Chain A
């Protein structure tokens, strides 16, 4: 296998086993997906829109219940199609989620957006914790600002700080950098992923931009029609395509696999 690691890896933090899902009676959007996520590593999920990437994130967050298969964190099964296994609700999981539209609460200030998830901490610690987080993402001066006064990049960083506030073990990023201009995007990506790696968080990032995936990920999974076509370190995926033709994502998905 091309993706065999050179040294023995620690056991995965999150294991996804044969996961399948469909909305109502609609078509299958996530189809027998197997995935392993490691603490401190960034895993990119690459695919076109409608390929089931975001749904996979929602399943990991516990916002949807799988139709088949299971999700295990450590040695605890948190989601399973088997109804005798208790479904851990999203509010009881140590999962951070940064949404594509950031989903900041418009009625709360930046600081209170961040303390929203800190109910597990004593009241007096919350304010200081929020300020610390804001400093980590470089927004110390904006604690009292309202979300709609912030730029897109600032909103994204608030969303990240807010997701980190619950000390998650797993961070889910749903196309967090789309809609930002290129310069800002590169800078923000570096900041975000550095913060996440420092916090030793397992990160699953969804993107439809192959360049982004290849640039930042430790592992890349290519997804299409709900299935994971391939999972490999980025350098292995690149080697396959010495002579690119057509748009990048098409190249990655359509070229024959050579071993």
Chain B
């Protein structure tokens, strides 16, 4: 029979096996799934490559002009903006998260989710609303003048069209990123660590600064990095506040008209884009390094939820005020302004315009969401099938597209696509004597490619984490039951994760509806979306016409925010499970 005597000396596999394979190249060829994942992620590489290539090109006098007159302004404004928004967001986000997590005061429960509402308002819409409210002819200043009989020069009023104004608007709409990150971090902290600090003679405030804050620092840093990304990428708000940043500079340089050299401004824009991309890459790298170090933070295994402290007569209203001001500033005021505008507008076309462009937006967003989710599923599944460095690289690389600012993406895609369009036309002209026109840049292809590059990471992040929750034995079971790899993902993973798939689609969908700069640059001629139309109306000082469109964007933006809010709610186990996409009490390790 099959008796094998125990061996005394351990041998290696290679020494002994008689049927050991001869060297075979097939070992080094990745599987079709891995190749597919690499191909998809390569799409992100295209814009980066284009932008980097532009550095080597000659943009004539344009760059010299930029460097002499504009660049310094762009850089200082971008730096002030980034610094101001990040500092303010970090302070507001962390303070409110700490109050909500550790204190008890009237309205706390509602505020705990209301604080993320400003995520539904894109920064450019807040900018339009606030300038409308605070401008010289706006209601507040008019009222002040009538009430006190002041003239034009008699009083000082804050001017929104400054760096300070842009900082205010971007902070009001992006602080929730820090709030969310800090709140989750505080929720995960055990009361034990804080209580130890208290017994060691630290007061509540001191315990916060010496224990809770350092423990939550990696999360707060991650949230602040998101804010930084949004700020660097922001086009609409800065543009409307007349603050020249790198992102707006790229857009305006692209549209410069140079009398002698038509391509020079475009190359200069691409070179500016390379500069912005460098800054973004630096930020991403610093954050990644910081996160790697933060892995050493280990919490105690004995977890005890924080107990909230009831606030007193004086402190409770104060905490309430601190938490409600960001919600009012970032959400309530812009929404009220647009709602009031929509209610009182005499423009009958406002609703019509919203419906017209709304259908464009919805179609575009739906197609983009379907493509993004499909590609994300392919990458996530490829990573599951082959947990090697190749698929991990593909997944990480594909996620980086989210860091590409919209104007950078616009420039980086328009240059190669225009080139390809022309070559295609040359080719068909030579072969068939016809010119099909602009197939790539004249259709939604370009803008869809842009969305795919930018939002694939959003879908991927969500799907990867939900794929991880499906136990590997389910894959094996499906395989031994006669279902191949493709069938397994269709019959097992997708049905199990359908809620996550839907959630990923929803996130992409809403991001697409809100997206302004890339859409503005990449859309086909005369193709208007809600965001683009709102931008145009605001630029023309006819915001009333876009009031319904703005409200539509905000309403759609509320969907993922509500999803997040249900996730954060303390009794959200049920909805959390629904989001996870299955009755997966079974999929969790028992």
A interface residues with partner B (beta carbon < 8 Å): 1, 3-4, 16-18, 20, 22, 28, 32-36, 58, 61-63, 67-70, 80-83, 89-93, 95-97, 99-101, 103-108, 116-117, 119-120, 146-148, 162-163, 165-166, 179, 221, 224, 227-232
Contacts of B482 in A (CB 8 A): 91-92, 117, 119-120, 166
B residues 41-98 near A (Cβ < 8 Å) are none
Point out which of B4, B26, B583 has the most chain A C-beta atoms below 10 A from its C-beta: B4
Q: Which 3 A-B pairs have the closest CB atoms?
A: A68-B17, A117-B481, A103-B473
Measured CA separation A232–B2 after assembly (Å): 9
Q: Are B1 and A1 in contact (CB under 8 A)?
A: yes
Q: Are B473 and A231 in contact (CB under 8 A)?
A: no
Q: Are B19 and A1 in contact (CB under 8 A)?
A: no
Q: Is B141 close to A, CB under 8 A?
A: no
Measured CA separation A107–B3 after assembly (Å): 44
16 pairs, CB–CB < 8 Å, chain A vs chain B? A4-B1, A32-B16, A63-B476, A68-B19, A83-B22, A100-B473, A106-B582, A106-B584, A106-B585, A116-B491, A117-B480, A117-B481, A117-B482, A148-B585, A228-B4, A231-B1
Instruction: State the Cβ distance, B449 to closest chain A Cβ, in Å.
Output: 34
Contacts of A96 in B (CB 8 A): 480
Interface string of B362-387 (1 = CB under 8 A from A): 00000000000000000000000000
Instruction: State the Cβ distance, A58 to closest chain B Cβ, in Å.
Output: 7
Q: Is B349 close to A, CB under 8 A?
A: no
Q: Are B4 and A116 in contact (CB under 8 A)?
A: no
Measured CA separation A181–B479 after assembly (Å): 30
Q: Are B17 and A97 in contact (CB under 8 A)?
A: no
Q: Are A18 and B19 in contact (CB under 8 A)?
A: yes
Q: Are B21 and A34 in contact (CB under 8 A)?
A: no
Q: Are B473 and A101 in contact (CB under 8 A)?
A: yes
Q: Is B20 close to A, CB under 8 A?
A: yes
Q: Is B495 close to A, CB under 8 A?
A: yes
**What is the size category of the interface that chain B forms with chain A?**
35 or more
**Given A90-B480, A105-B492, A116-B481, also A70-B19 (CB < 8 A):** yes
Measured CA separation A14–B495 after assembly (Å): 36
Q: Are B13 and A228 in contact (CB under 8 A)?
A: no
**Given A22-B13, A147-B586, A148-B585, also A3-B480 (CB < 8 A):** no
**Given A91-B480, A105-B492, A120-B482, also A82-B3 (CB < 8 A):** no
Q: Is the contact region of chain A dominated by helix, strand, or loop, or is it mixed?
A: mixed
Measured CA separation A104–B2 after assembly (Å): 34
B residues 494-535 near A (Cβ < 8 Å) are 495-496
Measured CA separation A223–B119 after assembly (Å): 58
Q: Is B484 close to A, CB under 8 A?
A: yes
Q: Are A116 and B478 in contact (CB under 8 A)?
A: yes
Point out which of B16, B17, B590 has the most chain A C-beta atoms below 10 A from its C-beta: B17
Query: Which single residue of chain B is at the shortest CB-CB distance from A101?
Result: B473
Contacts of B480 in A (CB 8 A): 61-63, 90-91, 93, 95-97, 117, 163
**Given A83-B21, A91-B484, also A97-B7 (CB < 8 A):** no
Q: Is B151 close to A, CB under 8 A?
A: no
Point out which of A116, A162, A224 has the most chain B C-beta atoms below 10 A from its C-beta: A116
**Given A63-B479, A99-B476, also A231-B3 (CB < 8 A):** yes
Contacts of A33 in B (CB 8 A): 4
Q: Are B474 and A105 in contact (CB under 8 A)?
A: yes
Q: Which of A93, A95, A106, A117 contacts B496 (CB 8 A)?
A: A106
Measured CA separation A91–B4 after assembly (Å): 31
Q: Are B26 and A83 in contact (CB under 8 A)?
A: yes
Measured CA separation A48–B483 after assembly (Å): 32
Measured CA separation A79–B13 after assembly (Å): 17
Told that A81-B17, A104-B477 touch, could you supply 8 new A-B pairs with CB distance under 8 A? A18-B18, A20-B17, A68-B18, A68-B20, A91-B479, A91-B483, A93-B480, A231-B3
Contacts of B12 in A (CB 8 A): 28
Q: Is B570 close to A, CB under 8 A?
A: no
Instruction: State the Cβ distance, B516 to closest chain A Cβ, in Å.
Output: 39
Q: Are A227 and B19 in contact (CB under 8 A)?
A: no
Instruction: State the Cβ distance, A131 to closest chain B Cβ, in Å.
Output: 18
Contacts of B21 in A (CB 8 A): 81-83
Measured CA separation A241–B54 after assembly (Å): 80
Q: Which of B17, B484, B487, B496 contacts A18 (CB 8 A)?
A: B17
Measured CA separation A119–B478 after assembly (Å): 12
Contacts of A91 in B (CB 8 A): 479-484, 487
Measured CA separation A28–B14 after assembly (Å): 11
Q: Are B4 and A227 in contact (CB under 8 A)?
A: yes
**Given A36-B2, A61-B476, A106-B584, also A116-B483 (CB < 8 A):** yes
Q: Are A97 and B476 in contact (CB under 8 A)?
A: yes
**Given A58-B476, A116-B491, also A227-B17 (CB < 8 A):** no
Measured CA separation A91–B487 after assembly (Å): 10
Query: Which single residue of chain B is at the shortest CB-CB distance from A16?
Result: B2
B residues 449-486 near A (Cβ < 8 Å) are 471, 473-474, 476-484
Q: Is B6 close to A, CB under 8 A?
A: yes
Contacts of A63 in B (CB 8 A): 476, 479-480
Measured CA separation A4–B4 after assembly (Å): 15
Instruction: State the Cβ distance, A53 to closest chain B Cβ, in Å.
Output: 15
B residues 156-188 near A (Cβ < 8 Å) are none
Instruction: State the Cβ distance, A172 to closest chain B Cβ, in Å.
Output: 8
Instruction: State the Cβ distance, A43 to closest chain B Cβ, in Å.
Output: 10
Measured CA separation A168–B590 after assembly (Å): 28
Q: Are A166 and B481 in contact (CB under 8 A)?
A: yes
Instruction: State the Cβ distance, A38 to closest chain B Cβ, in Å.
Output: 11
Q: Are A106 and B6 in contact (CB under 8 A)?
A: no
Instruction: State the Cβ distance, B292 to closest chain A Cβ, in Å.
Output: 23
Query: Which single residue of chain B is at the shortest CB-CB distance from A97?
Result: B480
Point out which of B6, B585, B590 has the most chain A C-beta atoms below 10 A from its C-beta: B6
Instruction: State the Cβ distance, B487 to closest chain A Cβ, in Å.
Output: 8
Q: Are B4 and A82 in contact (CB under 8 A)?
A: no
Measured CA separation A91–B483 after assembly (Å): 5
Q: Are A146 and B583 in contact (CB under 8 A)?
A: yes
Contacts of A90 in B (CB 8 A): 476, 479-480
Contacts of B263 in A (CB 8 A): none
Contacts of B495 in A (CB 8 A): 107-108
Instruction: State the Cβ distance, B54 to closest chain A Cβ, in Å.
Output: 41
Contacts of B3 in A (CB 8 A): 1, 3, 228, 230-231
Measured CA separation A146–B483 after assembly (Å): 21
Measured CA separation A64–B324 after assembly (Å): 57
Measured CA separation A35–B3 after assembly (Å): 9
Q: Which of B1, B22, B586 contacts A106 (CB 8 A)?
A: B586
**Given A70-B19, A106-B587, A148-B586, also A228-B2 (CB < 8 A):** yes
Q: Which of B19, B24, B471 contacts A69 (CB 8 A)?
A: B19
Q: Are A103 and B477 in contact (CB under 8 A)?
A: yes
Query: Which single residue of chain B is at the shortest CB-CB distance from A3?
Result: B1
Q: Are A101 and B590 in contact (CB under 8 A)?
A: yes
Instruction: State the Cβ distance, A1 to closest chain B Cβ, in Å.
Output: 7
Interface string of B572-590 (1 = CB under 8 A from A): 0000000000111111011
Measured CA separation A34–B6 after assembly (Å): 13
Q: Are A229 and B4 in contact (CB under 8 A)?
A: yes
